[in-house]
Structures are given as C-alpha cells and as structure tokens.
A = this chain, B = another copy of it.
C-alpha cells in the first residue's frame, strides 16, 4: 500500500509518500507561491508515484470548505493570503490523480497524526492539537472523528481575558484584533517588542503573558470539550515554555476540573520533526481505503 500526504501551509508545502505503517518513503517540500505554480508542483510530485499510490490526504491551511454537499467543497475559501482565496484545491488534485483523496484542515491532520502515533490501547477518546506559529488554530478529535459540521473549528479566534500587564497591546488579527491568534501568534513578538521571538529570552515577561493566554485557551478547550489530551505544536512552542503554560493552566483552573497529571495532559507532539500532519494524512488516506 502506498499513501500520499500533502501538508499545505501558508509558507511551504510538504508532500510525502508512505506505507501502511505510516513510514515516510519519499518526501519533498517547496515554498507556497501562487496556487497555479504550487498545485502544479504538487501534482507533478505525485504523478511520479501514480502507478503505486492508493490514496492521498490533504491537510490544508484555511479557511477551507469541508461540507461535502457544498458547491465549493474542497476549496480554500476567504483566506487573507494573496492569490489563494477561492482556490479549488481538492478539485485540481482530483482532476489530475484518479485515487480517493481526503480533505481536511492542517490542524486536523496534525491532531490525527498525534492520535494514531499512540499505541492503539492508549489512544484517547478525545484529543486537541493546537498550533501556535505564524497562525493559531486547533484540530479536535472526538471518538476518532473531527468536530465541526457547519465548518471546521476556528479556535484561533476566540476572545480571552486580557493579562493585566498587556492591556495596551491591541493585537494583530485583522478580523478581531485581540483574539487568541491576535495575541499569541509568532508575529506578535515583532508587534510587541520589535524583534522576532527567537531573539526574546524565556526570562522576558512577554513569555509569561503568552503562557497566560495559551493556558486560557487550553482551559476553554478543557471546560468545553473535556478532552483527554491537548497537544501543542508550532514554532512558538518549546518544552521550557510548556512548563510556563502548565503553571498558568493550574492557576486558572484552580482545581475545578480533574485532568490528571499536567505533564501528560498538556504535551508537545510525540511525532518528531513537525511530522504530525504527514502521519495524520497517511492514516486518513488509509481510512479512505476502508
């Protein structure tokens, strides 16, 4: 069995071919330029494997249309990314490759990868995967299925109680200002301090503020979904920063809902090297084959 994975990010595309154990056999990546150029490269990559490829899954940046009955099912919809609004991503791939193709969001792909990477007996009934990077979002699995029928969740845009030392920061979301993404996405370091996050030591108070907001988002997920596990990926996340998030989470929750040991509940990905979405895509492609 050969399975294909497209992790379509706003900055780069990662395409891979794997086997039914979800091992990567071949992999390529290229920058996200225009839809025409980027999707042509994607198609050309998979055409090489056309004779052996059984199924494919796409985990895409969004917003995307996921309602299978909608006229624009398979499109990237009203994204702020230039050139990409209303791109028929799935249709382009289906026209070129005569195999079953699964279509979901980038964070759903990563959530599924983290789910299947666990031994079957340890797979939680409910898992949330947050990415805190250039953008912020979450994929949510309940009983092995993604939440969201009217559309996919947009957890990056929830509002939060503001940190008392951060009340003057307006946030950077073009739609909502100080929603979660507007307060903690990677580019907020430039907006707050005039330099990128990699140049800001963890001892800087801005990291406490970031941890407070991210912990609050984890509290919201906990109180709303009662998931068994919340995984955090993306460029802003590191294990020392996770410790700050866990501390803030404990303070905010104040013992209200039992979640077990925080080192098991709020974790970094188990799949190494940002590979969660690739593993998730392989598993979702395999699921299409029944």
Interface pair B178/A149, CB less than 8 Å apart: no
Interface pair B153/A226, CB less than 8 Å apart: yes
Check if A220 is an interface residue, CB within 8 A of chain B: yes
Interface pair B155/A223, CB less than 8 Å apart: yes
Given contacts A175-B254, A176-B256, A256-B175, contact A226 B158 (CB under 8 A): no
Complex formed: what's the CA distance from A130 to B160 in Å? Answer: 19
Interface pair A150/B228, CB less than 8 Å apart: yes
Partner of A142, one of B142, B157, B161, B260: B142
Partner of A224, one of B126, B220, B257: B220
- Shortest distance in angstroms between A267's beta carbon and chain B's nearest beta carbon? 15
Residue of B nearest to A147 (CB): B225
- Shortest distance in angstroms between A64's beta carbon and chain B's nearest beta carbon? 12
Complex formed: what's the CA distance from A212 to B197 in Å? Answer: 33
Check if A19 is an interface residue, CB within 8 A of chain B: no
Interface pair A258/B224, CB less than 8 Å apart: no
Residue of B nearest to A150 (CB): B226
A contacts, CB < 8 Å to B? 63, 125-126, 138, 140, 142-143, 145, 147-162, 175-176, 178, 216, 219-221, 223-228, 252, 254-260
- Residues in B whose Cβ lies below 8 Å from that of A257: 63, 150-151, 154, 157
Interface pair B258/A150, CB less than 8 Å apart: yes
Partner of A226, one of B148, B162, B226, B254: B148
- Residues in B whose Cβ lies below 8 Å from that of A125: 149
- Residues in B whose Cβ lies below 8 Å from that of A147: 126, 142, 224-226
- Residues in B whose Cβ lies below 8 Å from that of A259: 150
Interface pair B159/A252, CB less than 8 Å apart: yes
- Residues in B whose Cβ lies below 8 Å from that of A178: 161
- Residues in B whose Cβ lies below 8 Å from that of A138: 224
Closest 10 CB pairs of A and B: A148-B226, A159-B161, A154-B223, A125-B149, A150-B226, A158-B220, A175-B254, A158-B223, A151-B226, A224-B224
Other A-B pairs beyond A142-B142, A150-B260, A221-B224, 6, CB < 8 Å? A125-B149, A149-B228, A156-B223, A161-B178, A176-B252, A225-B225
A-B contact pairs, 24 of them (CB 8 A): A125-B149, A126-B149, A126-B150, A147-B225, A148-B226, A149-B228, A150-B228, A150-B260, A151-B257, A151-B258, A152-B226, A153-B223, A153-B225, A154-B223, A154-B256, A158-B220, A159-B216, A159-B220, A160-B160, A161-B161, A161-B162, A175-B256, A176-B254, A221-B224
Complex formed: what's the CA distance from A154 to B222 in Å? Answer: 8
- Shortest distance in angstroms between A168's beta carbon and chain B's nearest beta carbon? 13
- Shortest distance in angstroms between A111's beta carbon and chain B's nearest beta carbon? 13
